[in-house]
Amino acid sequence: MRALPDLIRNEDADSALTFRESVYRRGEQADLLRDVIALANAAVSGRRFLVLGVDDEPQRERRFPGISERSWKSFCNVLPGYLARTVEPRLAHSLQAVEVDDVLVGVVCLDSCEDPPYLLARRISSTMPAGGGWARRGVKQRRLMRKDLQRIFAGRFKRQEIGDVTVGFPGELPREELLLPVLPLVALPSAQAEFKINRMLEANRVSKSVLGRADSRIARLVHAQVSGGTAPYREQNTKTMRALLGKLPIEHAVADDHYRFELRAHHLNLQLNNLGDKPHNDLTLTLRIPRVEGVDVAKRIYTATGDASARNGMYPKVDVGPRTIAVQVTGLKIPKRGSAEAFFEPLRLILREAAANQTIRVAYTLQGPTLGRPVQGRLKILATD
């Protein structure tokens, strides 16, 4: 993992990472308990972080107002005893102060959340009775429900059965859940070319209706606007431009595919973790992604026009069925007490507008001669708009 300042600057808030602008004050104990317990009960693995002194409002660039050293010290003196009295089972945590952009930022690190569910040990208020709890999902938190408890206990049994090998999303915070934005096709090359030609056709039509003839000065002006002055002007009549419109899908096919499946796709990898004392070799990982509107996977790498590099042999095998997209890669190795990326060439995952605010559940199976039994589970991709 990178240093905490890098994580604070660059990582997006999610189920395992949350930001708050100020230190919790007297009277905000309920907010503190909700935030900490929700992080502890999140459906992720590994450490979780509550960062104080960061303004992370949506639709705005992240700011670092920082916190005072006095308020942070006071918070550190009170927090351990307060959590010990109000949260059960005991929640392992540590407190760190780091400097980010010349200001002090405080971090509450939940170092190990291996004994969920975490609940209130005593009554805090009429709306926070003993036994109450919350879970964080993405950037939102909700009161624990029956399905959350079922998920928590099922996860505990699964960890006991699977043992030392796990599969998750890579990054600063290894996790079973990932937030990804949808990527609309805002600048498809053929569509941009069609827009420019139609603007030139409209300029010809207007000049003929006003002047009775096409005017090259108007055409040059419109051409400069739509091209940004980067392409030389070539005089073309209406017939020629309409013929060009008909050829656009063919002429821009390679560029369109590169844009759709490479530039406007998420390059997704997975991380295989081995906590055991023996390496694992010759493993096969299989993913099953549901076929739903707005979700797709590129079957191969779509290179840019003129790019002759051959990398498709390194791309995972993709088989698109009527209900499921199957992805498979073989020959994987994980060193003892180490980790490895699943894909040599990342999977291209396409998320379009129709998938916004949906949860895509990806089932995985990892099997091989050294595992004894297959490692199976589900990962979640939260598509955001």
The predicted pLDDT at position 341 comes to 93
Q: How many domains does the chain have?
A: 3
Domain residues for 297?
A: 265-384
147 and 37 share one domain: yes
Kindly state the tokens that stand for 269. 């990898």
Which one-letter amino acid corresponds to residue 148? D
156 and 15 share one domain: yes
Residue 254 burial by Cβ neighbours in a 10 Å radius (0-12, 13-18, 19+): middle
* 367 — pLDDT class (breaks 50, 70, 90): very high
- Asked if residue 69 lies in contact with residue 104, where contact means CB atoms within 8 angstroms, the answer is yes
213 and 151 share one domain: no
The predicted pLDDT at position 125 comes to 92
Instruction: Supply the DSSP string of 279-320, one letter for each residue.
Output: -EEEEEEEEEEE--TTEEE-SS--PPTT-----GGGSPEEEE
220 and 245 share one domain: yes
Q: Stretch 157-165: mean pLDDT, rounded? A: 61
- Asked if residue 175 lies in contact with residue 113, where contact means CB atoms within 8 angstroms, the answer is no
93 and 39 share one domain: yes
CATH assignment of the domain containing 374: 2.60.40
255 and 274 share one domain: no
Would you call 174 helix, strand, or coil by DSSP?
A: coil
pLDDT digits (tens, 9 = 90+) for 268-319: 999 998 878 889 999 999 999 999 999 999 999 998 877 766 676 789 999 9
The predicted pLDDT at position 290 comes to 94
Burial per residue of 19-30, b for 16 or more beta-carbon CB atoms within 10 angstroms, e otherwise: bbbbbbeeeebe
240 and 274 share one domain: no
79 and 145 share one domain: yes
CATH assignment of the domain containing 18: 3.30.950
10 and 113 share one domain: yes
From residue 138, how far is each of 16, 236, 357 by CA, in Å?
8, 53, 11
For residue 318, the cross-strand partners are 327
Which one-letter amino acid corresponds to residue 327? V
* 3 state SS for 37-99: HHHHCCCCCCCEEEEECCECCCCCCCECCCCCHHHHHHHHHHHHHHHHHHEECCCEEEEEEEE
Q: Decide which of 261, 289, 311 is a domain's last residue.
A: 261
Q: What is the pTM of this model?
A: 0.60
217 and 296 share one domain: no
**Residue 174, in any domain of the structure:** no
Q: Decide which of 216, 239, 261 is a domain's last residue.
A: 261
How far apart are alpha carbons 353 and 366 in whole angstroms? 31
Q: What percent of the chain has pLDDT over 90?
A: 53
